[in-house]
Structure 1
Amino acid sequence: MAISISVQCLGIIILAAILLQTIAVAVSFIYFNKVLSTMRESFSRSSVSCLINTNLHSGLDDPASEDKKSDPCWQVTKQLRYHIEKKMADRFQKEISGAMRNKLTGVLPMLSPGVRGVPLPEVAAHVTGVVSSLAPPTAESSWSSGGYLGERIRMWEGKRGLSFLQNMELRGGELLVPKAGLYYIYAQTYFRLPSLVEMEGDAKEDGAQLVQYIYKKMSSYTVPILLMKSLRSVCWPRGQEPGLFSLHQAGTAFLQPADRLFVTVSNASTMEMDGRASYFGAFLVG
């Protein structure tokens, strides 16, 4: 009987110890969890306070501010500044790279048509002016024996400088079309009109008409067909300096194989064949 009572008392004591230990663990967990929450909240308020009250540039670049390196606020702002600068640098680099790539894509086909990764149209040509490239002068604004208006530009540069030929041929100032399709055609001519002082009193009209024509010659038709015409009326310069003018035109036309394109101008004696100011070209668009 005494032994049974002793076993029961021992069991009660063990259960009480386990219960007390469980309660102690639970209380300790609640306490430490509350302490951690308090520390987290305190750190968060401290970080926000650093951002609100601290100048990001203050002392970050000052090597003599050794006492600030142990300051938590200094460390927070330093890390934040580093992160912001890195993000801005990455974004700036990406945007600049994209902008430069777009610019080069638009320019390189003309400057260097063989650049890798910059495809040219299947058929294309850009030819530039050459000095002394005009046919012998004809009467202005009259029909030549070849059935076209103006004075024909006989020579263009197709291989050097800014010029190139991509599956097109340049022959006698004419671009030969190798393939049927819709072509974008363009031309620009540059004129230098002398001033009245340079002409030393030579009798001249008050104004001059500058005209540029783009013609198509077909093997099945004897007379060239006028595709485009651009004109401008200008006055002879009266000061010491010459007058500088340019005519530009562009458009599309459907061309057949063996068609030829060429350019004529009026007032050819005043034209300057600068390779960057006088040019002619075409490319297949569809």
Structure 2
Amino acid sequence: MAISISLQGLGLIILAAVLLQTIAVAVSFMYFNKVLNTMQESFSRSSVSCLMNANMRFGYEDSAAEDKKSDPCWQVTQQLHYHIEKTMADRFQKEISTAMRNKLTGVPPILNPGVRGVPLPKVAAHVTGVVSSTDPPTAEGSRSSRGYLGERIRAWEGQRGLSFLENMELKGGELLVPRAGLYYIYAQTYFRLSSTGETEVEAKGEVGDPKEEEGAQLLQYIYKKMSSYTVPILLMKSSRSACWPRGQGPGLFSLHQAGTAFLQPADRLFITVSNASAMEMDGRASYFGAFLVG
């Protein structure tokens, strides 16, 4: 009987000790949690205060470097500056990488983002000359009834080599505009003038004629054709005076021009030159194109 009473007393003592320990742990947890919250609020207020008063506290030139490093406010601002610089550097690096990738793949840059948050669609084309060893460049002679000057070039390549079409069509040497907007338009034509021009003049007995001394006038035109207007509209022109080569080798000349124009859907762009038979239709020498910029 005495042994049973002693066991019950020991059990009560152990239970009381466990309860007291549990209560002590709970009180300690609540106390330290409250202290931690107080410290966090204090740190947040001090951090905001540091940011608001950073210029006032550290804007003096006579402040010692060691004093700054030991000040908690200086440490907070330095960490914030570090994270801001790292974030901006990562974003800048990503944008540069995207721009370089687009440049290498031939995708033209979007100069105007249009509506805020909505990028412009990719509308672009770059067509190149077609090299042929037997046939001259396909062209139409200049006719006053057609309303444009020069010979119209139709032999353009839009799918192979350096050329590409992005939401634009190439039909009969014309680029078809799919949507209204401001377009950047460019063209280059390359000419190879042989010395036969001078030889033909000499064969006719006209050596010394003023026309032979003047040489050749090279002209390049960029036209726009509208569905609502029958006569093509001249957008740009470029010219150059080239002397006939007097040696054995040919004379090489190029014309390049570029500019912007506002185009409507179904407008067509085409190129004419003064002498299509003298053109060098290498894709790296003769080309034209356009892309949407706004």
TM-score bracket relative to the smaller structure = 0.5 to 0.7
Which residue, out of 205, 213, 217, partners 2:212? 205
Q: Give the equivalent residue in structure 2 for 1:67.
A: none
Alignment partners' CA distance in 1, 2:267 and 2:127 = 17
CA contact (8 A) 2:223 2:269 kept: yes
Q: Give the equivalent residue in structure 2 for 1:107.
A: 104
Distance 1:243 1:174, change over 3 A: same
Alignment partners' CA distance in 1, 2:269 and 2:146 = 14
What displacement does 1:125 show?
A: 0.2
Whether 1:282 and 2:265 are equivalent positions in the alignment is no
Alignment partners' CA distance in 2, 1:176 and 1:123 = 11
Which residue, out of 271, 277, 294, partners 1:263? 271
Alignment partners' CA distance in 2, 1:280 and 1:215 = 12
Q: Which runs of 4+ in 1 moved over 4 A?
A: 98-104
Give the unaligned 5+ runs of structure 1: 1-97, 112-118
Distance 1:199 1:221, change over 3 A: same
Q: Deviations over 1:209-248 (max 9, x none)?
A: 0000000000110100000000000110111111000000
CA contact (8 A) 1:110 1:162 kept: no
Q: Give the equivalent residue in structure 1 for 2:280.
A: 272
Q: Deviations over 1:246-275 (max 9, x none)?
A: 000000000000000000000222111111
CA contact (8 A) 2:126 2:164 kept: yes
Distance 1:178 1:267, change over 3 A: same
What displacement does 1:145 show?
A: 2.9
Q: Deviations over 1:126-159 (max 9, x none)?
A: 0001243322444xxxx54311000000121000
TM-score (norm 2): 0.55
What displacement does 1:122 show?
A: 1.1
Whether 1:135 and 2:125 are equivalent positions in the alignment is no
Rg larger for: 1
Alignment partners' CA distance in 2, 1:123 and 1:104 = 18
Q: Give the equivalent residue in structure 2 for 1:214.
A: 222
Q: Give the equivalent residue in structure 2 for 1:189.
A: 189
Give the unaligned 5+ runs of structure 2: 1-94, 109-118, 205-210
Q: Give the equivalent residue in structure 2 for 1:151.
A: 151
Alignment partners' CA distance in 2, 1:121 and 1:195 = 48
Distance 1:279 1:121, change over 3 A: farther
Percentage identity across paired residues of the two chains: 76
Alignment partners' CA distance in 1, 2:140 and 2:270 = 16
Alignment partners' CA distance in 2, 1:135 and 1:102 = 37
Number of positions where the alignment pairs a residue of Structure 1 with one of Structure 2: 179
What displacement does 1:103 show?
A: 5.3
What displacement does 1:202 show?
A: 4.3
Alignment partners' CA distance in 1, 2:165 and 2:104 = 16
Which residue, out of 245, 252, 271, partners 2:253? 245
